[in-house]
A and B are shown apart, each in its own frame.
Chain A
Amino acid sequence: MDLLGGINPAVLVASLMMASVPIIFAAIGELVVEKSGVLNLGVEGMMIIGAICGFAVAVETGSPVLGFVGGALGGATLSLIFALLTQFLMANQVATGLALTLFGLGLSSLIGQGYVGVKPPPVDRLDLGPLSDLPVLGTILFHHDLMVYLSIAAVVAVWAVMHHTRAGLVLRAVGENHDAAHALGYHVIRIRVLAILFGGAMAGLGGAYLSLIRVPQWTDGITSGAGWIALAIVVFAGWRPGRVLLGAYLFGGITVLQLNLQAAGARIPVQYLSMSPYLITILVLVIMSADRRRIASAPASLGRTFHASR
C-alpha cells in the first residue's frame, strides 16, 4: 500500500462513510424536493443554518441529540421562507434559492459569533460489542456514530416511500405534471411545501453533523460548498435515491483521500489537493449531463411555478 503513502484502507473507507453523511442527508432531501418539481438552490444556506442551530442547541443543552433536532428545525425554518416566496408569492425559484444561501451564510455567522472556539458535547460511537471488534469489517462497518446509519436508513426510506407507496406516487405526479395532478384533485402547493420543509430539515441535519461530529467546531462558512456538491449529486444520481448514496460515497472518498494525502505530506501543494473535490464534481456533472437519457429523467415540472387559475 505504498501508493497511498501508508494510509490504512480500512480506516480510509470508514472515514469516507463519515465524510459523506452531510452530503447524503442534504442530497436525499433535495432529491425529494426536486421530485416534487421544485428546484431549491438554497441547500448551502439551509445546511449552514442547520450547522449553527444544531451547534448552539447542543452546546446550550449539552445534548447532541437535541442538537440534531435543533439543526433539522433550523433548516426547515429557513426553507419555510423559500416555500412562502416560491409557492405562495410565486417568486423565481433560482433567485430565491440564491437569496436563501446568501441570507443563511450571513445569519449563521451572526448567530455563531459567540460560539467560535467552543467545544460541542461529544457524540459517542455506537458500541456494537463483538461486531465492532471484527478486524477490517469492524472498522469499516461497525465503528460509527448513529447518524452514519441513520443517513443510510434515510436513503432507504426515501426510496421505499418514493417507489412503493401512494404518497410517493402522488409526489412524483406533482413533479412530473402539476396541472394534471391539480386536475386530479391533489393539492399541488401543499405537497410541494411539505417536500420543501423535508428538504430543509434534511439539509439542516447534514449541517448539524458537520458542526457537531465531522469538524467538530463552529467556524464561519463551515459548509464550504457541501450544499452545492449535494445539488450536483442529485443530478449525478439521475434523481434516483440509490445512486445518491453511491455519489455521496464517491465524493466523500475523494475528500478523505485528499485530506489524507495532505496529512501524509504528499508532494502536491495543499491548495491543489483541496480543490480536487470541486473539480471532480464538475467533471462528473459534465459526464452525466452529456448523456441525454439521464437528463431526460429530470422531473418534467422542475423549477416551474404553479398557479391555479381556478
Chain B
Amino acid sequence: MLMLEKRPSPSRFWNWATPVLAVVLTMLAGGLMFALLGKSPTEAIRTIFWDPLFGEFAWYFRGQLLVKAGPLILIAVGLSLGFRAGIWNIGAEGQYIMGAIFGAAAGLALYPADSRLIFPLMVVAGAFGGWLWAMIPAILRTRFRTNEILVSLLLVYVAQSILASMALGALRNPDGGGFPGSRNLSQWASSANPELIAGTGMHWGVVAAMAAVIAAHVLLQRHILGFHIRLAGQAPRAARFAGVSPGRLVLLCMGISGGLAGLAGMFEVTGPAGQIQIDFASGYGFTAIIVAFLGRLNPVGILLAGLLMALTYVGGDNAATNLGLPAASIQAFQGMLLFFLLALDLLSNYRIRLTRKEAA
C-alpha cells in the first residue's frame, strides 16, 4: 500500500526537479489538448517552443522574448516576497495598470516639454501608482484584518474601469480626433522607453527586472528583512517571538510588489504598448503568479521561469498565426503548468513509501 510520509524539510533535489518535470508533463498534456483541437501535437509543440528560438524567424522572436519576460519577471519577483511570507497579493494586474496610468499622467502633464528629467519622473510616478494601489489591501488587512486576496483582486476590476475612463477622458489625446487612447509616449523623446540594444528587445524595464532579481536575491540571502520574510512564512509563531511585526511585513511586501508591478506597467506603456489604451491590460499581473510559483519563489528561478513563460507567449502568437491555434489555448496551457507544478510539490514535501498493510 502507498503511504505518504512527511519529510522533516522539503527535499532540495525535488525542489528543483519538479519545475522541469512539470514543464515536460505540461508539454505532454498540452500535446493531447492540441490533438483534441485537431492539430498535430508535435508540430504545435515545435511551433511554440522551438521555432521562436531556432526557427526561420528567430531573429524577430528572440527580441520579443525579453519584451515579454521583462514585466513578468519584474512583477513575479515582487509577488514572490509576499507569497513566501504568506501574504497573497493577487491583484498585481491592477497595480500594473495604475502604475502605467500614474507614469503616463506624470509625463503627459509636462507635454511637450523637452527634458531628460521627465522619464525618471515618470518612473517614480509609476512605482508610486502601483505602490498606492497595493497599499489599499495592505492597510485594510493590517487595520481591519480584511482578506487581502479578495480586496486586491476586486481592485483589478476597479483599475480596469479607471483605465477605460482615462483612455476615453482625462488622458485622451487632444489631437487624436476623438479616438480613445492617449498620446503615443514611445514617440515623444522625453518619455520614450526605447530598445537599448537593437534587435534584443532590451528596454529599461528589462534592466529593472534584472536589477530586481539581483536585489531580491541579496535581500533574501543576506539581509535580516529577507530572513524575517522567510521566517514568517515557515513559522509564523516563531517569527512573532523573534520580534517580526506581521503588520509591518504586510505593508512592506505588498508595497514592494505593488511598486514593482507599477514599474512594469510604466515601462510597458512608454515602450512596447506606447499609449494608455482601453485594452492596455494584458494579463501580465496574473501570469506573473504562475511565474513566481514556477520559479519556486526564488529570484533566480523566477528569472528562468519568466523567460520560459515569455517563450509560451511568443510561441503562442507564432502558433496562432501559423497553425490557427486560438490565442486562449496558451492561457489554458499556462494554467495546466501551474496544476502540474502544485501536484508535483507532493514529491518535495512528502516521501512515498511502499508498506504492507498492517493487521488490525
Contact = CB atoms under 8 A, between A and B. Distances in A.
B234 interface: no
A232 interface: yes
B161 A102 contact: no
A102 to B, nearest CB: 4
Interface residues of A, number: 47
Interface stretch (A24-32, A142-150, A208-216, A275-283): A275-283
A109 B153 CA distance: 20
B6 A289 contact: no
B292 to A, nearest CB: 10
Given A220-B328, A235-B147, A102 B165 contact: no
B208 interface: no
A91 B333 CA distance: 19
B147 A285 contact: yes
Contacts of A94: 88, 149
Interface in B4-33: 4, 6
Contacts of A282: 140, 146, 150-151, 154-155
Contact of A289 (B4, B145, B326, B328): B145
Contact of B328 (A100, A109, A286): A109
Contacts of B343: 84-85, 89, 91
Contact of B161 (A90, A95, A235, A274): A274
Given A94-B149, A295-B145, A269 B169 contact: yes
A110 interface: yes
A22 B338 CA distance: 27
A40 interface: no
Interface in A88-118: 89-92, 94-96, 98-100, 102-107, 109-110, 113
Contacts of A92: 342, 345
Interface in A154-195: none
Interface in B139-161: 140, 143-147, 149-151, 153-155, 157-158, 161
A249 interface: no
B143 to A, nearest CB: 8
B188 interface: no
B333 A106 contact: yes
Contacts of B151: 282, 285-286
Interface string B253-291: 000000000000000000000000000000000100110
B304 interface: no
A257 interface: no
Contacts of A105: 331, 335
B342 A95 contact: yes
Contacts of A220: 328
A107 B333 CA distance: 9
A1 interface: no
B146 A102 contact: no
A290 B144 CA distance: 5
A8 interface: no
A138 interface: no
A289 B147 contact: yes
The interface residues of chain B, by DSSP majority, are classed as: helix
Given A224-B157, A285-B150, A289-B146, A113 B162 contact: no
B339 A81 contact: yes
Contacts of A271: 161-162, 164-165, 168
A98 B150 CA distance: 12
A41 interface: yes
A225 interface: yes
Nearest to A288: B146
B158 A91 contact: no
Contacts of A269: 165, 169
Contacts of A85: 339, 342-343
A297 B143 CA distance: 19
B90 interface: yes
A231 B164 contact: no
Interface in B280-330: 286, 289-290, 293, 326, 328-330
Nearest to B144: A290
A307 interface: yes
A239 interface: no
B349 interface: yes
A149 to B, nearest CB: 29
Contact of A278 (B143, B158, B165, B342): B158
Contact of A102 (B149, B326, B331): B331
A39 to B, nearest CB: 9
| A89, A109, A224, A232: residue with the most chain B Cβ atoms closer than 10 Å | A89
A272 B328 CA distance: 29
Contact of B140 (A96, A106, A224, A286): A286
A281 to B, nearest CB: 6
A242 B329 CA distance: 40
A102 B328 contact: no
Contact of B335 (A89, A102, A113): A102
Contacts of A309: 6
Interface string B66-108: 0000000000000000000000101000000000000000000
A278 B155 contact: yes
Interface of A: 41, 81, 84-85, 89-92, 94-96, 98-100, 102-107, 109-110, 113, 220, 224-225, 228-229, 231-232, 235, 269, 271-272, 274-275, 278-279, 281-282, 285-286, 289-290, 295, 307, 309
22 contacts: A81-B339, A85-B339, A85-B343, A89-B346, A90-B4, A91-B342, A92-B342, A95-B338, A99-B290, A100-B335, A102-B286, A102-B289, A105-B335, A106-B332, A106-B333, A107-B335, A110-B326, A113-B328, A220-B328, A228-B150, A228-B154, A286-B151
**Chain A to chain B: the 4 pairs with minimum beta-carbon distance, closest first:** A103-B335, A106-B331, A106-B332, A271-B165
